[in-house]
Amino acid sequence: MLKPTVGPIIGHTTTNHARIFVRGKAQKDAPVFAGIRYRQPGHEQWLKSIFIRLTSLQDMSDVIVLNNLAADTEYEYQAGWFSTTSTGHTEESLQELPLQWPQELYRLRTRSGAVGTPRAYIVGSCRYLRMTAGIPSAPQLGDRIFASMTQLAQQANPPVSAMLMTGDQIYVDDLNFFAPDREHQQILAKYRAAFSQPHISRLMANVSTYMILDDHEIEDNWPKKKRSGDDVLYKNAITAYELYQASHSPVFDDGRIGRHPKHYWYQFTDGDIEWFVTDSRTRRNLSADDRRILDVEQEHALCQWLIHSPARVRMVVTSVMFFPDAKRDGDDAWGGFPGQRLRLLETIRTHRIRNVIFISGDVHGSLTSRLTHSEDQDFEVHTIVSSPLCNTRLLPYATQSSFILDRPLARNAAGEYRQELTGKVISQDNFAHLVINAERIQVNYHDRDGKLLQSTGIDLR
């Protein structure tokens, strides 16, 4: 067996279930299979080997699903791929093959259903990996920060439950000025290059990773700048996104890909902390009479989740900033959809929902901020922004002056929503390490070498 060409990537993980993405390589007309075997550390006997056939229709990739796992338990696993001369293999016959598995051991940990247990997460966005003639240019720059994340994850207490990548995991349009990628194979090549760099590969093989797209997975400020003929670009980009990002997420109910999901937004639970990962990019309505950043179905699902979720902490991921608004291109984020944002805020306020945190990226600057209400002392919402993982010299970093902070975010007859920063704006490559305990969320920003840049506490109520 050979080491996967991309992966393994641990995706959606529950108390008894895990999804692992693996890619092999086509071998002319020979059938190609990927396999995973797993066991608890310290045991010589492997619990099970699972195989799946890979096809070019899915870029020689697929997701292997592990079921009936024990809760709050560490497993070690091996992954690889191979080709055979026989076209008639069954699941049983594959088990009998004398396979030589790749030696590298990876680890995954299932979720704990316990409430009140401290949890930790890594959050980041905007990872620029420039491609020239199909080859990454200076790939170590785009991969360096993931070595620091891996080191933190290996030492973290509480252990890191998951990494949230909140948008722009690749830049389809990195050469947008003169040679943007539009063809399906070009876009697939970017995913292969981006996700197979050594440090990110090691991190995603050992830490459960959740992803959601933003504009650069398609085109800058999509769909505002959509032009004639861009339907083909969108189809190619979104098909690649489904294979490499959505495939191992909860959007596929049974964990098996091969068909288009109904939508790209999803939810997952980690004890008494729940996450709602929105799709704030592909369901936009830009018409003047009904501007929406989320479609009707998604807004309804989000509101119902906010109101009825039993979670102690509700984390809402939106790839673009919920607040504060940016002075430049602010209408590409929630500032361009004030009516829908106000409806969400009023839902939170009137239902007296506590501990709602908005998580986002996009702006190439990191910050924490707080929203209060002039007439409702019980209302409080926070945002945590983490961006970028790796910037490009073509794009500036955000600073405090990049944001509109000198006036209320919104107002209606009930009063004003007032905003304030709760820390400095970080204007360099970074990632966020969130630690959630019974009293607070500690937001720790680290630079690409792992050095602590800033730590901010958000008190829970």
* pLDDT score for 29: 85
Smallest CA-to-CA distance from 211 within 71, 405, 9 is with 9
Helix axes 296-308, 338-350, angle to 10 degrees: 20
For residue 53, tell me if it sits in a domain: yes
Q: How far apart are CA 276 and CA 318, in angstroms?
A: 9
Task: Check residue 333 and give left, alpha or beta (phi > 0: left; psi -120 to 50: alpha).
Answer: beta
pLDDT at 304 over 90: yes
Residues 300, 184 within the same domain: yes
Residues 233, 176 within the same domain: yes
Smallest CA-to-CA distance from 137 within 182, 190, 198 is with 190
Q: How far apart are CA 163 and CA 451, in angstroms?
A: 18
| 454 vs 93, higher pLDDT | 454
pLDDT at 138 over 90: no
Residues 353, 272 within the same domain: yes
Mean pLDDT calculated for residue range 11-40: 95
Residues 137, 50 within the same domain: no
For residue 158, tell me if it sits in a domain: yes
Q: How far apart are CA 65 and CA 300, in angstroms?
A: 30
pLDDT band at 94 (very low <50, low <70, confident <90, very high): confident
Helix axes 139-155, 198-206, angle to 10 degrees: 30
Residues 221, 184 within the same domain: yes
Mean pLDDT calculated for residue range 381-387: 98
Beta carbons within 8 Å of 29's beta carbon, 6+ residues apart = none
pLDDT at 56 over 90: yes
Q: How far apart are CA 380 and CA 373, in angstroms?
A: 7
Residues 135, 72 within the same domain: no
CATH number, domain with residue 208: 3.60.21.70
Average pLDDT of the residues of the chain: 93
* pLDDT score for 180: 60
For residue 209, tell me if it sits in a domain: yes
For residue 49, tell me if it sits in a domain: yes
pLDDT tens readout for residues 141-174: 889 999 999 999 999 999 999 999 999 999 988 6
Does residue 208 contact residue 161 with C-beta atoms inside 8 Å?
yes
pLDDT at 251 over 70: yes
pLDDT at 134 over 70: no
Mean pLDDT calculated for residue range 109-128: 95
Residues 65, 144 within the same domain: no
- Give the C-alpha distances (Å, rounded to integers) separating 89 from 95, 101, 216, 290: 10, 18, 41, 54
pLDDT band at 183 (very low <50, low <70, confident <90, very high): confident
Residues 343, 425 within the same domain: yes
* pLDDT score for 92: 81
* pLDDT score for 13: 97
For residue 45, tell me if it sits in a domain: yes
Domain boundary among 109, 139, 169: 109
For residue 18, tell me if it sits in a domain: yes
For residue 109 the two structure tokens come to 């940990």
Render 287-356 in DSSP notation, one character per residue.
Answer: -TTS-BSS-HHHHHHHHHHHHH---SEEEEE-SS-SSSEESSSGGGTGGG-HHHHHHHHHHHHHTT---E
For residue 1, tell me if it sits in a domain: no
* pLDDT score for 181: 67
CATH number, domain with residue 43: 2.60.40.10
The letter for the amino acid at 77 is Y
* pLDDT score for 347: 98
Domain boundary among 87, 109, 131: 109
* pLDDT score for 87: 76
Residues 358, 240 within the same domain: yes
Of 224-228, 294-298, 379-383, 392-396, give the lowest mean pLDDT range.
392-396
Q: How far apart are CA 444 and CA 368, in angstroms?
A: 10
Q: How far apart are CA 32 and CA 84, in angstroms?
A: 7
* pLDDT score for 394: 76
How many domains is the chain built from? 2
Domain boundary among 109, 134, 154: 109
Mean pLDDT calculated for residue range 222-239: 91
Residues 297, 404 within the same domain: yes
pLDDT at 176 over 90: no
Residues 46, 128 within the same domain: no
Owning domain of residue 382: 119-459
* pLDDT score for 402: 96
Do the bridges between strand 273-277 and strand 325-326 make them parallel or antiparallel, or are there none, so unpaired?
Answer: unpaired
Residues 103, 179 within the same domain: no
pLDDT band at 179 (very low <50, low <70, confident <90, very high): low
pLDDT tens readout for residues 321-365: 999 999 988 899 999 999 999 999 999 999 999 999 999 999 999
For residue 114, tell me if it sits in a domain: no
